Structure 1
Amino acid sequence: MSDDKKAISIFSEIGDLQTVLLKRPGREIENLTPDIMERLLFDDIPHLPVIQKEHDKFADALRDNDIEVLYLEKLSAEAIDASNTKEHFVDIMLDESDIRSEKVYQALKDYLLSMSTFDMVETIMAGVRKKEIDVESNHLSDLSDGHQYPFYMDPMPNLYFTRDPGVSIGHGMAINNMTYTARKRETLFLETIMRYHPRFKDSNIEMWRDRNETTSMEGGDVLILNDKVLAIGISQRTEARAIEDLAQELFEKHSSFDKILAMKIPNVRAMMHLDTVFTMIDYDKFTIHPGILELDGSIDTYTLEKSSESDDLKITHQTDLKKVLKEALGVEDIDLIQCGGGDAIAAPREQWNDGSNTLAIAPGVVVTYDRNYVSNALMREKGIKVIEVESSELSRGRGGPRCMSMPLIRKGI
């Protein structure tokens, strides 16, 4: 099978984007409440009709640039139907949903299996409220209402950030063990698609990692700089050990990738993933939030390579980010465009609203949030074409255009 017919082909951050996976925000957004939003990793509650309208315009902006848009919810339902695994899927999802009562488990199973597959998938994503089904339970928490917890199955409001549950690397996919319980079930949808959907199941997709790994990694921390080099953030949600494990897998299976730049970023909510503070937008240009750099402009960067003397990894520590990137990419200079221009007010404001979370859809062409006007103007001054999308509600989830998209196919560069 030639590269242009591969189901997954990602060898850069900036090659012309051809196929991308999205998830349209759904009823799970309306199941957020002030009491549970922090546990579900939200800082605010988006307004569903508006966030859907904004997301639709984001998808349209991609289609307007000849990019094929696939949807997680639709592919999941198609994969389940194609493999006749509806009951099996429900069993796994219920097993991972902390259902402690056998009666509740069976009532939920009957309820979900009574639906069409697509409706079932959307209902699982949205979460199941206790008032939706009648259950004779011997658990007080199941029987009582009012001040008690309102869900039998938690909603998954983070699903519209399709970047994180997995990451396309070369002709393969790493399905991630997510850090927080609130997101761990999300990866079952992606695993089901890769395993059973007719578009993917017979495509010889390398599985670099699976959802049962013991170490945590999330897709927002992984940047495919070129066909040989990855950059991965050591962050709030990606462990250093997971990066080592991935490196060993890529090297041992003789992938094209022979170098990983592990970058240590602050372990804080505002900078949860590498791509919230650092993204590639052209052959020699990156957006960066100055908050990840030390006062002297340095950042701890560890280069992982295969040792020529043993099966161990060779690890080299450096702090000069520009130097590391120039060597890795083979370019004479690197332009680090600071979010908000590095201004003491504009930089943290725009980083909070994902001013550094740009989605490159071609070399020097990016999709960004319209609200980050300082950062967008700076990129235009540097010759970058900036496509802005509305973001009043999308940004409430703390993720930008890159977070909301999982590239599946890019042209080579």
Structure 2
Amino acid sequence: MQANHKIEIDVNSEFGHLEGVIIHTPGIEVEEMTPENAERALYSDILNLSVASSEYSVFKGILNKVTTTFEVKDLLSDILSIDQVKSSLLKEICLSEGAMDIYPKLLGKSASEIAKQLIQGVPIERDNLTRFLSQERFSLRPLHNFLFTRDASMSFGKEVLIGKMASKVRDREAVIMDAIFNNHPMLVTRTINPNSPENLQNFPGISIEGGDFQVGREDVLVIGTGIRTSTQGIDFILENIKLKKQGLQHILIQELPDTPESFIHLDMVFTFLDVDACMVYEPLIMGTNRFHTIHIQVENGKVTDISEQKNLVKALKKLGIDMRPIQCGGITGDWTQEREQWHSGANFFAFAPGKVIGYERNVHTLEQLNHNGFQVISAKEVLSGTCEIPGGKCVLTIPGSELARGGGGARCMSMPIRRKQV
């Protein structure tokens, strides 16, 4: 990677033309799961890597066609070639995960080998009684969830908010992303990190994950609160917006239920598709339910209004973002909506206004998109050269029989670092 090629982080919408995205191609860390530890790894099932890899290659192939992609492992390897970064990052990880005994050995490895082991895990060496009898297989556990690069860091404007993961099993992802954004010579940004002792003390119960964090406009954030992003996490974001004293800013908050697990993040029930269209899981976003939609208005560093709104779509319209809601699972019945939402049917990733990527399995959702002017095109056909990406609205469909079982879709698997202004 060319260190002299600078990329200034800049993201002011969910749908501006994509100019750079961070991804992680799943590796053997995905298969280092057993039925026994799958729940600890935040999976409800174990994945078949060969099938997941084949599906992921279509997703990555399309991204490579429309933008510049950066692999986490490559970026991590780049910064680990800086001696000071290598020693401090390894020390931080080994200390926090109770594995200082492996620090000297790791330090002696090459940058690329360390990067690989920090993601795929470091198997335990059974060279004393404690380790011989340990039920653990790893001194540093594999990062099973890192293919969902969306969660551990979030671009907003020219800054990057580092995630405070809801589960300790994902903490290392945030540590790695923080190190990349602070040390990679190619990336120009300022990071905001909630993981400092002071922030953890001031905001007890804080958690923030990128699946809940959406940029509606340069002055509008849309954030979900539920099992992965706490109200304290949103208060932390609010405090950082207040500190900037930047005129009028808005945060729209959508409360999410704790169950089922498919409601894990806001982007599982709501995603932006275009300047004037969004994908919604209608029963939760538009239906009459007990889950609050709150608008917080900040003016020059002070909260000037907190009020409840009818729903997210109406709240956006009040701010001049007029969205036509398109229904996940179509309009034929509750059961198709529930089935397709479960398999990330609302989780679309826009690489330009009105040009999105989603799973081909969610046929009722795709049919609804088609009714709303989106041409449905197989990503495989685009990659094989049998058809082109059209000029107008389109949805490029990727296979997802295995990937969807990991609990995320195209938005979950992509972390944009730069978009053109809309």
Same fold (TM over 0.5): yes
Contact 1:228 1:256 in 2 (8 A): no
- Asked if 1:338 corresponds to 2:327, the answer is yes
Task: Please list the CA deviations of residues 163-212 of structure 1 after superposition, one character each: whole Å capped at 9, or x if unmatched.
Answer: 00010001100001111111111111111111111012xx3x23233433
**Structure 1 residues 103-118: aligned runs within 5 Å:** 105-106=100-101, 108-118=102-112
- Asked if 1:126 corresponds to 2:100, the answer is no
Alpha-carbon distance between aligned partners in 1 of 2:13 and 2:355, rounded to the nearest angstrom: 14
Secondary structure in structure 2 of the residue aligned to 1:91? helix
Alpha-carbon distance between aligned partners in 2 of 1:369 and 1:210, rounded to the nearest angstrom: 33
Alpha-carbon distance between aligned partners in 2 of 1:394 and 1:369, rounded to the nearest angstrom: 9
- When residues 411 and 120 of structure 1 are mapped into structure 2, their CA distance, relative to the original with a 3 A threshold, is same
Contact 2:223 2:252 in 1 (8 A): yes
Alpha-carbon distance between aligned partners in 2 of 1:83 and 1:143, rounded to the nearest angstrom: 32
1:371 corresponds in structure 2 to 361
2:152 to 151, 165, 168: 165
- Asked if 1:91 corresponds to 2:91, the answer is yes
Contact 2:248 2:299 in 1 (8 A): no
2:213 corresponds in structure 1 to 222
Provide the TM-score with structure 1 as the length reference. 0.89
Residue 307 (structure 1) shift: 5.2
- Asked if 1:304 corresponds to 2:293, the answer is no
Residue 228 (structure 1) shift: 1.2
1:382 corresponds in structure 2 to 372
Contact 2:182 2:190 in 1 (8 A): no
Residue 225 (structure 1) shift: 0.6
RMSD: 2.1
2:307 to 303, 311, 316: 316
Alpha-carbon distance between aligned partners in 1 of 2:114 and 2:364, rounded to the nearest angstrom: 43
1:272 corresponds in structure 2 to 264
1:355 corresponds in structure 2 to 345
- Asked if 1:408 corresponds to 2:397, the answer is no
1:236 to 227, 230, 235: 227
- When residues 256 and 393 of structure 1 are mapped into structure 2, their CA distance, relative to the original with a 3 A threshold, is farther
Residue 375 (structure 1) shift: 0.5
Contact 1:208 1:246 in 2 (8 A): no
- When residues 370 and 153 of structure 1 are mapped into structure 2, their CA distance, relative to the original with a 3 A threshold, is same
Alpha-carbon distance between aligned partners in 1 of 2:406 and 2:293, rounded to the nearest angstrom: 29
Q: Which runs of 5+ in 1 are unaligned?
A: 100-104
Alpha-carbon distance between aligned partners in 2 of 1:190 and 1:7, rounded to the nearest angstrom: 16
Instruction: Report the identity percentage.
Output: 30
Residue 50 (structure 1) shift: 2.1
Alpha-carbon distance between aligned partners in 1 of 2:35 and 2:285, rounded to the nearest angstrom: 34
Residue 297 (structure 1) shift: 6.8
2:192 to 208, 215, 218: 208
- Asked if 1:281 corresponds to 2:273, the answer is yes
Residue 248 (structure 1) shift: 2.4
Alpha-carbon distance between aligned partners in 2 of 1:364 and 1:239, rounded to the nearest angstrom: 31
AA aligned to 1:275 is D
Contact 1:287 1:339 in 2 (8 A): yes
Contact 2:252 2:294 in 1 (8 A): yes
1:63 corresponds in structure 2 to 64
Contact 1:82 1:198 in 2 (8 A): no
1:394 to 375, 400, 403: 403
Alpha-carbon distance between aligned partners in 1 of 2:347 and 2:363, rounded to the nearest angstrom: 13
Contact 2:286 2:311 in 1 (8 A): no
Residue 57 (structure 1) shift: 1.5
Residue 381 (structure 1) shift: 1.6
AA aligned to 2:358 is T
- When residues 115 and 257 of structure 1 are mapped into structure 2, their CA distance, relative to the original with a 3 A threshold, is farther
- When residues 111 and 51 of structure 1 are mapped into structure 2, their CA distance, relative to the original with a 3 A threshold, is farther
AA aligned to 1:176 is G
Secondary structure in structure 2 of the residue aligned to 1:182? helix
Contact 1:227 1:256 in 2 (8 A): no
Q: How many residues align?
A: 390
Alpha-carbon distance between aligned partners in 2 of 1:59 and 1:7, rounded to the nearest angstrom: 22
Secondary structure in structure 1 of the residue aligned to 2:217? coil
Alpha-carbon distance between aligned partners in 1 of 2:192 and 2:320, rounded to the nearest angstrom: 23
2:13 corresponds in structure 1 to 12
- When residues 295 and 10 of structure 1 are mapped into structure 2, their CA distance, relative to the original with a 3 A threshold, is closer
1:181 corresponds in structure 2 to 168
Contact 1:6 1:171 in 2 (8 A): no
Residue 110 (structure 1) shift: 3.5
Task: Please list the CA deviations of residues 316-365 of structure 1 after superposition, one character each: whole Å capped at 9, or x if unmatched.
Answer: 1112333211112343xx32111101422211111111000000111111
Task: Please list the CA deviations of residues 261-318 of structure 1 after superposition, one character each: whole Å capped at 9, or x if unmatched.
Answer: 011111222101000110010112111112424753785211111257x844531111
**Segment of structure 1 superposing worse, 51-60 or 36-45:** 51-60
- When residues 46 and 69 of structure 1 are mapped into structure 2, their CA distance, relative to the original with a 3 A threshold, is same
